[in-house]
Amino acid sequence: MASSPLLVALVMVSACFLAVSGQKFNAIYSFGDSMSDTGNLCVNGPPAGLTLTQPPYGETFFGRATCRCSDGRLVVDFLAEKFGLPLLKPSKQGGANFKQGANMAIIGATAMGSSFFQSLGVGDKIWNNGPLDSQIQWFQNLLPSVCGSSCKTYLSKSLFVLGELGGNDYNAQLFGGYTPEQAAGQSPTIVDAIGAGAEKLIGLGAMYVVIPGVLPVGCFPIYLTLYQTSNAGDYDQYGCLKRFNALSARHNSLLQSKVSSLQSKYPYAKIMYADFYSHVFDMVKSPTSYGFSTNLRACCGAGGGKYNYQNGARCGMSGASACGNPSSSLSWDGIHLTEAAYKKIADGWVNGPYCHPAILS
């Protein structure tokens, strides 16, 4: 009896999943913001006053600042190492070979374009023109040199990491005077933009797409410092600001629903929700279980206040220094995490339980 076309297609997809789960991907392509930028903002010379180009950034692994917002490697770096690939080059690096991967992520990036922020009256809070749509265009510009006329086949064996995105969309609103509750009103629009970006990549041939949620920013030193209150009821039992974490949770709930709908719409692709929030919040709740002695205090800063964060004396500025053992801290500079935290997060995405489904499942 002849096999039906549908049966043949399902068998081919299953075989593809099995093959990739048992071996490395041929490339990783990453999109996002400062949680995953490996140098795009600095390719043509860093903007004036950019502190992350100064020591002690990069000290743990690279021994120098690399335009990564950490003391060392990021999640996407650990993913590349896991699958035997070189660390991702920034897509703006001229003359580079991107056949084994490229990083379109750029510091300050947003899911939404500039008109969205202008409509909210916070356009001046966005200083980098690298929204998701632009990053996807940068990626498309690379494709002729990567895969020529066989892109769908090549990209079907690559891993795509779409985010984290959304954090800066909310930062612009919050730093522009919006309350967390007001900012949450824009969550459906922001999530829709991320979903549309995922669909564009799938249309180009992506079969393996990781879509991370946003982080529990109410536990981050920058927010704990800037929005510190004397009302104990504003904090949860772990010392985090409840309203800001509720904003992140609202975004993530909608994003999980979006990922679920994409999974149903594209059953031949493996679309994964990476639970950034739960993993980091677990580290906050039980830091010693993850090898951390501090959870709400930045490793790198000028020693200011309870959380070691000062806008005027941030990591990389004069007077600021790193703690003696960054691997014992969850937070690196009050805004981003340490290499030690990113390694644990990458492991949680690859093998579970913080990615649904896990990359290797």
Q: Which residues are catalytic?
A: 34, 333, 336
In sign, the C-alpha dihedral spanning 315, 73, 166, 54 is: positive
Give dist(CA 309, CA 130) in Å, integer: 27
Alpha carbons within 13 A on the beta-carbon side of 170: 32
Q: Buried b vs exposed e over 78-93: b needs ≥16 C-beta within 10 Å?
A: bbbebbebebbbbbbb
- Residue 254 C-alpha from the chain's centroid: 17
Q: How many CB atoms lie within 10 A of CB 194?
A: 27
56, 300 contact by CB (below 8 A): yes
Tokens 């770096």 -> residue: 77
How many CB atoms neighbour CB 64 within 10 A? Answer: 11
Please tell me whether the peptide bond between 357 and the residue prior to it is cis, using omega within 30 degrees of 0. yes
- The token duo for 348 is 């949680």
